[in-house]
Each structure stands twice: as C-alpha cells, then as structure tokens.
Amino acid sequence: GTQVAQTVEQAGLVVPPGDVGAFVDALLFMASNQEQCQEWGKRAREIAVQEWDKEQILLKFEQELVKGMI
C-alpha cells in the first residue's frame, strides 16, 4: 500500500515484506516469463523518466508555483 509499491505495481511485482513464499513465487514467475519482464523493464523506464527525471520534477514544481500565484 505504499507509494513505492503502487509505482512498482505498474511495472513489476510487489510482494508483502517478509513473505518468503510470495517472493519465491515472484522469482519463479519472472524466470519463466522473460517477455513479461522485458515489458516491465520498458514500463519502469517510462515511469522513471516521467516521474523522476530532473527536468520533469522541476517543470512540475514550477507549475505548482505558478498555480499558487494565481
């Protein structure tokens, strides 16, 4: 339910902390689904560029500042 988990769910698998069985299941799934892993990798990069790129962060910050002035 964390923000990190919500982001990861868009491009991968999330397992509960300490749930070794779920972790093993996730690893086995990824090992047998290389195509899905490649798609997740592409999506993860898109998310990183959209959400964590310095220019995007500064642009969003600037937009919030302008909204606050209006």
Report the predicted TM-score, pTM, of the whole model to 2 decimal places. 0.69
Q: What is the pLDDT of residues 19-60, one digit of tens each?
A: 999 999 999 999 999 999 999 999 999 998 888 888 888 998
pLDDT-based confidence at 1, cuts 50/70/90?
confident
Domain boundaries, the chain: 3-68
Rounded distance between C-alpha atoms, residue 60 and residue 9, angstroms: 23
E-strand stretches of 1-70: none
Radius of gyration of the chain (CA): 17
Reply yes or no on whether the pLDDT at 70 is more than 80: no
Rounded distance between C-alpha atoms, residue 44 and residue 30, angstroms: 15
Reply yes or no on whether the pLDDT at 7 is more than 90: no
